[in-house]
Amino acid sequence: MLHFREEQNHRWAHNLAAAREFYSAGDLGKFYQGDLSGAFPFPGMKILGAFWTAENMEMNERLEILLDVLPLSDESQYQRSSNRYFRWFLDDIIEMNDRMNLFSKDWLVSFLKEAENGTVIPEDWQEQIASLQDRTEKELNGEPREKTLLNDWFRYCLRHIVSYARNLIKQGVRSALYVGENSEDALKKAIDPTIEYFGWKINRVFYNVALPLTGFSDLGDIVQLGSYGMLADQAVSPSSSTEKPGHTEKRSFLDTCQLYGFIDSCAAFLGMRKGCTTHAYCPYCVGHGKKTMDFVIPPEFQIEYGLEEGLGYGGHRCTFLLKMTPAPEDDRCDQATAKIFGDEELSYGTEK
């Protein structure tokens, strides 16, 4: 039996299973570039590899903030519980592999021992993903198929999946223990001053680090990664656009969320009330989205961005609402560009 919910935290396995089907069928184009037309929209290994790499970077940034603003009286309990629930996730990987046969059992056993004992991201990860992309593109151009290409892609991806899962479990445990020692109001007071900082910082990481280091420099590739990367870990319903008097409303829908799955589950494992740690993740997603909209929406619109309903707040999915109202051009886009690509030092305060 799985410890973490399959629909929230194990979409990675279903994506790899879809990749194997395309690869085994000889459809290397869909294996690499994806196929969004089926019942299970598959973004392709090019996007999956880059997105999981970037997601691991994002989770590192989130954890650094929580370690700073959520002090605990007993760090040993934090470490014990984090390690315990991480081992549960590793057990889940074994079960998903038993179902889907994604990795050889001998390799997986060895890898999971490595994962339990420390970091699993190799120092040469940048060279590895560049090599995987190059080898795949050579096969697409007619060179003979390599026997190890599929396994090499899967093993690269699993390292980043495991790393961001460990990180999210730590976030879930820390935020739950902090609420237990203090209160939900105290969690909100600690998190709120960091939301704007995180929104800008993670966009800096995404555009200045994650994209170039994973080979995404072409504008079309960047748009694809931004549009379809979420499919790596989340079920996504089609977005909607509605014209209203004086403005346009655009909604995007996440039917599942791995942050909700990990962080909410950790609170439950610790005997905490469901939803008590929502403020440790939902506001960051909204803040990140708002800063992204500031950057990508043309300056001739005034924008509002927020969460209409969220899984963490008891909703049946996450619904993000973007309101766009025609308005005189301002310097919103220029300011966002300067924040993301400039050298201004970003910082946050703490609310006492």
Q: What is the pLDDT of residues 40-91, one digit of tens each?
A: 999 999 999 999 999 999 999 999 999 999 999 999 999 999 999 999 999 9
Copy the structure tokens of residue 342: 């400039």
What pTM did the predictor assign? 0.95
Residues 6+ apart with CB under 8 A from 285: 259, 307, 318
Phi, psi of 131 (to 5 degrees): -65, -40
| Average pLDDT for 287-316 | 96
Whether 99 shows a pLDDT value over 60: the answer reads yes
The terminus-to-terminus CA distance of the chain in angstroms comes to 43
Whole-number pLDDT of residue 201: 95
| Whole-number Cα distances in Å, 133 to 45, 49, 126, 149, 205 | 9, 9, 11, 10, 21
Residues 6+ apart with CB under 8 A from 90: 112, 115, 116, 162
pLDDT band for 352, please (50, 70, 90 cuts).
very low
Query: Does residue 20 contact residue 12 with C-beta atoms inside 8 Å?
Result: no
Whole-number pLDDT of residue 41: 95
| Average pLDDT for 153-171 | 97
Could you give the CA distance from residue 128 to residue 118 in angstroms, rounded to a whole number? 20
Q: Please provide the average confidence, as pLDDT, over all residues in the chain.
A: 94
| Average pLDDT for 216-236 | 79
Whether 220 shows a pLDDT value over 80: the answer reads no
Whether 224 shows a pLDDT value over 90: the answer reads no
| Average pLDDT for 218-228 | 69
Whole-number pLDDT of residue 349: 76
Q: What is the pLDDT of residues 327-341, one digit of tens each?
A: 999 999 999 999 999
